[in-house]
Structure 1
Amino acid sequence: MPEQAPRAHAPRHPLHALRLGARRLDAATPASRDRAVDALRALAILGVVLGHWLVTALVAQDGALHTESPLGHQSWLTPVSWLFQTLAVFFLVGGHVATRSLATAQTRGDSYGHWLRARMARLLRPVTALLALWTVTAAALLLGGTPLATVHSLVKLALSPLWFLLVFAALTAATPLVARLNPLWPLAVVLHVDLLRFGLHVGPSWLGWTNLAAGWLVPYTLGAAWARGELRSRRSARALLFGGTAATVLLVGCAGYPASMVGVPGAAVSNLNPPTLAAVTFGLAQCGLALSLRDRLRRAAARPLVWAAVALVNLSAMTVFLWHQTAMMAATATGLVAGRLPGLHTAPDSLLWVAYRLAWLPVFAVALALCLAAFRHRERGPRRTRRGSSRVVHRHLPPSKSPRHA
C-alpha cells in the first residue's frame, strides 16, 4: 500500500498560541531591561483610563449632552480619585526613562537634537490623527444641527489629554536642565504659589498655572534621581510614601484642600487644574509606593504572560491615553440609538449608576481596542525594512530562535 501523506498539524489552541507567543516575547527581551519600569508605566496609564471612565459621565438632558461627575453627587466615591489618579507615577517613570535615555545617547555620541527628535516623534505623532478626526467630527456635528453645548462637551473631553502631553513634552525637552535638579526646588515653588493663592489671596489670576510645570516637575525629577541611583533604598521609598501621605492628610484636614485628587465640576477649587500642593504631596506618596513595589513588579513581570500584557500596553501607551476618552464617547453616542441608558446617559447620582457604569467598562474597552487597531500605527511610525528589523531581532533573540518566528 502506498504510504499515506503525513497529516497536517492540528491548529493550536488559542491559549497555547498565546502562551507560546508570550514565551517568545519573554525570550526576546534583553536581560538588562528593568521590567518594573514598564510595569509602572502600564499601571499608570491604565489607572488614568479607568479613572476617567469611572468619574466622567455624559448626561443626556434637554436635547444635549452635558459633562457631570459622580464625585459631585456622591462624596463617598472620593477614594476612587486616590486610587486612579496616577499621573505622578507616569511622570516619575518619564523622568527616569528620559534621564537614562539621554545618558545613553550622549555615550553613543548622539546630539541633543537627534535625541529630542526621536523622543518627540513617539509622543506627538499620534496627536495628528486625533486632531484631524475631531476637527472633521466637530464640523460634521455642527453642520448637522448638534447643539453647540454638546459639541463643546465632546471636544473638550476628547482633547483634554493633550494638556498632559504638552507638559510631558516640555519636561522631556528640558531633561538636560532638570536631570540633576533637587525635587525640593519645584516643591518649594508650589508651596509659595499656594501660599500666595490660598493663604494671602494675592497675586494675578494666572499665578496658579505656574504649578502646572512646577507640580509635575517634582515627580519628574524624582524619576531622574532614581535613574542616578539615589532612590534605590527601601528607606527612601518609605520616606516618600509616609511623608507624602502625612502631608496630604494635614493639607486636606487642616488647610481646606479638596479631598478629591481630580477636578469635580462646580467645585470652587480643583487639586488638578492647576496642581495644588495637596496634589503634589499626594504624588510624592504615590511615587514612594511605586518605588517600594519595584521588586514585586519585577518578579511579577518575569512571568511571560504578565510581561506580554505589560509590553502590549507600553507599545501603545500614547495611543491608549489619547483615544480612551474618544472610545468612551463613541460608545455613549452609539448607545443613544437605544435611548437613555442607565450608567451611560443618566445622572451619576446613585449607587445604581455606579453598578451600571462598571458593567459598561468592557464596552468602553472594546471601543478602545477598535481605536488601537485603527490608530496604533501612528505611534509606531513608519515600518522598518526587513533588513533593519532582522538586525534588532538577531540582537535580542537567543541563537536557537529564528527571526521568522520572533
Structure 2
Amino acid sequence: MLRGIREVAERTPPQRERYVDLLRAVAITAVVLGHWLVVNVTYDGAGDLDGYSVLGELTWSHPVTWVFQVMPLFFLVGGYANGASWDSHRRRGVDTAGWLLTRGNRLLIPTTVLIVLAAVAAPVARLAGAAEDVTETAVWLVAIPLWFLTAYLAVVMLTPILHPLHRRAGWTVIVVLVGVVALTDAAEQLLGVPHITLVNYLLVWLAVHQVGFAWRDGMLDDRRVAAGLAGGGLVALVLLTVPGPYPISMVTVPGEEAQNTAPPTLALLALAACWIGGAILLRGWAARRLAGLRTWMAVVAVNSVVLTVFLWHMAAVVIAAIVLYPPGLMPQPEVESVDWLLWRVPWLVCLSVVLMVLVLLFGGVERHARKVGAGPARPGAGETGETGEGDAPGRGRAMTVTACAAPAVAVAGLLGITTAGATGEGPVGIPGWALAVYLVGAGTLWLLAVLRSR
C-alpha cells in the first residue's frame, strides 16, 4: 500500500493544486476529532447504550467550536474540485449526465455500503439478543455523518447550473446568496416567520461552494481580498455572537432554541469567511512544505480514503463502546470532571485503532467508486451540446434527466434517514420509506453508470 501511495505521489502533475488536498484532509480530520470529543457514549449495567453531545453541559467549550467547525473548508474545497472536474469533463466531451454519474457515484457507492450494513446489522443484533433501544441508538450514531453528505450531494447536483452562472456573474452570485441568508434570518428573528430559515441548509453551503469556484478562477489570489475575508469575517462573527442575536457555539447544542448549524445562519457564514481568508493567506507557506515527497505522501494517503474515514468514524465509536464498556475496560467518569477530560486521550486512541481497521476493510470501496463513471466521452458532446453524434437526441435527454433525478431521489432518502433520529422506525432502525427511496436513487445512478460504460 505504501508503495502505491508513493507512486501516486510521484506521478502528481505539477499543475495540481496540492493545497486543496491538504485542506480536505485537515477539514475531515478536524470534523472526526470534533465528533469524537463532543459525543459522549454511555453504557449502563442494564445494557442500555446512549449517546449525546456534551456541549449542553460544557458551556465553556462553546468558543472552541470556532476552531473545530471547519465544514466550510470542505465545501470551499468541494467548490474548487467540482469546478475543476466540471471544466475537465467538458473539455474531454463528457456531457452533464456523464459528469453527474461520475461525481454522484463517488459519493453514493461508499455511502450505500455504510447504510446497507447498518440496516442489516440492526436486526441481526436484535436476533442475537441486543435490546431494541440499543440498536436504535447505534444506528442513529452511525448515521450522524450522513447530514453532511445530504447537503454536499445537493450542491454537487447544482454545479452544472451554478458553475456557468459563476462564470457569468462571479461575486454577484455569492453576494445574492449571502443576502438571502441574511433576509431569512431577519424574517424569522424579527418578524417571526416560521421555518423560513430551512432554505439556509442549502443556501449557506452553496455560497461557500461558489467561493470555491472563485478561488479556482484566481479571484482570491490577491492577499488583500483574503485578508479582508478573514478580518471582516472575524469582526462580523464577534458582533453577531457576543452582543448579537446568534449563539457562540458553531455546533448544535442540545436543548438550546437558537442554533448556528440547524439550520445554518449568517453567523456561520461569518465563520466561513474567517476560515476561507485564513486558509488562502496560508497557501504559500503550505505549498512550500507540500513540495516535499513525504509530506505530500501523507496528504495523498489521507485523501485516498477521506470519504471512508468520514463515513465510518461514528461507527468506530459504536464498536468501541460495545467492546470496551461492558467488560469495564474503559471507565465512564462524569462529564465535567477532570477524569473525564483525561480519559478522552485513551478513548481517542482506541477510536483511531478501530477506525483504521474499518478503513482497511472498506477503503477499497471508495477507490472502486472513483472508477465508476461516465464511460468514454461522446463525440460532439461538451461545451456545445448534451449528446454526441451517435446518440439519439431523445435518448440523450432522457439520460440527462434521469442522471439529475436519481441523486435528487437519493438526497430525499438521506433527508429521511438523517432527520429520523433514534426513533427505531422499522425493523432496521431506519425509516423504511427513507431507506427504500435512498436505495432507488443510489441504485439508479449506479445502474446508469454501468449501462453507459458498455
User: Given the two structures, how large is their TM-score scaled by the length of structure 2?
Assistant: 0.76
Q: Is 2:235 the counterpart of 1:246? A: yes
Map of 1:327 onto structure 2: 316
Q: How many residues align?
A: 363
Q: Which residue of 1 aligns with 2:191?
A: 200
Match of 2:433 in 1: none
1:72 pairs, out of 38, 56, 65, with 56
Counterparts of 1:262-281 in structure 2 under 5 Å?
Answer: 262-281=251-270
Residue in structure 1 matching 2:250, options 235, 257, 261 = 261
Is the aligned partner of 1:130 residue 2:114? yes
Match of 1:380 in 2: 367
What is the match of residue 357 of structure 1?
344
- Distance in 1, matches of 2:53 and 2:154, equals 30
Indicate conservation of the 8 Å contact 1:126/1:319, yes or no: yes
Query: Could you tell me which residue of structure 2 aligns to residue 31 of structure 1?
Result: 14
Cα distance between partner residues in 1 of 2:211 and 2:296: 25
Q: Is the 8 A contact 1:44 1:87 kept in 2?
A: yes
Q: Which residue of 2 aligns with 1:56?
A: 39
Q: Is the 2:9–2:293 contact (alpha carbons within 8 Å) kept by the matching residues of 1?
A: yes
> Do structure 1's residue 118 and structure 2's residue 102 form an aligned pair?
yes
1:317 to 292, 303, 306: 306
Matched, 1:42 2:12: no
State how far apart, in whole Å, the 2-side matches of 1:292 and 1:56 are.
32
* Aligned 8 A contact 1:25 1:304 in 2: no
Q: Is the 1:69–1:348 contact (alpha carbons within 8 Å) kept by the matching residues of 2? A: no
Greater C-alpha Rg: 1
Deviation at 1:21, TM superposition (A): 7.4
TM-aligned CA deviation for residue 153 of structure 1: 2.4
Q: How many percent identity over aligned positions?
A: 37
In structure 1, distance between residues paired with 2:10 and 2:205? 36
Instruction: Decide which of 71, 81, 86 is 1:87's aligned counterpart.
Output: 71
The answer for the alignment partner of 1:389 in structure 2 is none
> Of the candidates 194, 200, 203, which is equivalent to residue 214 of structure 1?
203
**1:172 CA drift (Å):** 1.0
Can you give the 5+ residue segments of structure 1 that lack an aligned partner in the other structure? 1-16, 385-406
Normalised TM-score (structure 1): 0.84
Contact 1:22 1:307 in 2 (8 A): no
Matched to 2:193, the amino acid is: V
Cα separation, 2, equivalents of 1:197 and 1:149:
36
CA contact (8 A) 1:69 1:265 kept: yes
Deviations 1:62-107 (A, max 9, x none): 6422222232222222233121211100000000111111111111
Name the structure 2 match of 1:339.
328
Counterpart of 1:366 in structure 2 is 353
Structure 2: runs of 5 or more not aligned: 372-454
CA displacement at 1:300 relative to structure 2: 1.7
Deviation at 1:129, TM superposition (A): 1.2
- Taking the aligned partners of 2:269 and 2:217, their CA distance within structure 1 comes to 22
Say if 1:218 and 1:250 are closer, same or farther in 2 by CA, change over 3 A: same
SS in 2 for 1:381: helix
Q: Which amino acid aligns with 2:157?
A: A
| DSSP-derived class of the 2:219 partner | coil
2:295 aligns with one of 275, 300, 306: 306
The residue identity in structure 2 corresponding to 1:312 is A
State how far apart, in whole Å, the 2-side matches of 1:106 and 1:34 are: 20
Matched, 1:108 2:99: no
User: Following TM superposition, by how much is the alpha carbon of 1:255 offset from its aligned partner in structure 2, in angstroms?
Assistant: 2.0
